[in-house]
Structure 1
Amino acid sequence: MSAALFDLSGTTAVVTGARRGIGYAMAEALAAAGADIIAASARQEADGGAIGRRVRELGRSFEGHAVDFTDRDAVIAFADAVKDRADILVNNAGTIRRAPAAEHPLEWWDEVIAVNLSSQFALAQRVGAGMIERGSGRIIFTASLLTFQGGINVPGYAAAKSGISGVVKALANEWASSGVTVNAIAPGYIATDNTEALREDSERSEAILSRIPAGRWGRAEDLGGATVFLASPASSYVTGVVLPVDGGWLAR
């Protein structure tokens, strides 16, 4: 197998939520494979901040956009600004709110569904239309272990991430014949800001670690290889898949 199958030189990748954590690692991996990066986060600096510096260190160009993913008009405006340049879309922006289901504020539910599901479909719809016109493209969503499970105290997040699986399959069914693949990566328990509360809870952290065959929390950079694979020519016959990167959690 030729390494050229994983070469992204000459492509442009749009990565949402790239300012930190998993999105940062995904953008870094894509840039290392040769892609120029357009990044969007709620507080994304125009020069990119840390991720912008890293992308430029890797010899690629960077463009940053601040986008409120609870604002549908803002998401659509961003999509329209990048759709003609996007060879790869990584739909990673997300948020999480924790409270028992019986006490979970409906405002939190609305926010999480807007950011983690509705905005992601809107962005994929607009950018995907451009890919269909050109006859090629790669769309990668960030799913979750809660795409397969219900979780605890995160009903909105579980609903949104379960919905991502359906969106991936629906778009894959419609767009594969146009040369556009649509897949998702389901990270396991990764040491990021989103899991800080779990890692600081000694009982929950111990229970989680005891189920991970790899014996450790994941690192954001553990998602890089899967991201490059799904963005590259190597995955041209892979679509409609939710790929767990979880240290073996789902195998237990």
Structure 2
Amino acid sequence: MDFQLILDSFPDLLKGLVVTLELLLCSLIIGLMIAIPVAIAWVEGNKPVRFFAHFYVTFFRGTPLLVQIFLIYYGLGQLESIRESFLWPLFKEPFFCAVLALSLNTSSYTANIIRGAIKAVPHGEIEAGYAFGMTKFQRYQTIILPQAFKLVLPAYSNEIIIILKATSLASTITIMDLTGVASDIVSNTYRPYEIFISAAILYIAMTFILTRLFRILEIKMNKQIIEW
């Protein structure tokens, strides 16, 4: 194994790691912003709204993420209406398209997780909020969503790890994330073993850190529940 090659490549791999973390953070924030209203609509909406929420989740869970990335990056760019609109400066950027695809994908899984958590909130607590004269918005704000987030934390942490690994697909549309940088170095050095092992170690390190952070958060939340 060429350790000197690993050391020489490490700064470039770290730059790719920064792009990977940017993809992850943007996708999770946007995905969560989409997932919460979709989950609530799925639970509380009328029949057409519930159908739309169910269709949305089924579509993005039922199609491969790589296909979604290609449809957004290559497919939408073929539409004349997109190319002539104010959206074109966004859709011609690979980073935006990758974030959009990752956000839509993770939002579908997260919405399904949150929906299950909302239904698992004890009905008595919701009725108590109703008895105190709370509006539906207030019940969701103070009772349902806080309880639901505690319930979804273990499953949501797994979803974050999945999206972290899924960011590697962004390299297929020329984004120089960790996988993209590793592939570029391999194409120049013809030494895939050392480079991809190094990239794998960085992915494992990120996974370990995220797992530990969520474990600490779970412990703190459980302590708060016991104290309460």
Q: What is the TM-score normalised by the length of structure 2? A: 0.28
| Structure of larger gyration radius | 2
Question: Normalized per residue, which structure has more helix?
Answer: 2
Q: What is the TM-score normalised by the length of structure 1? A: 0.26
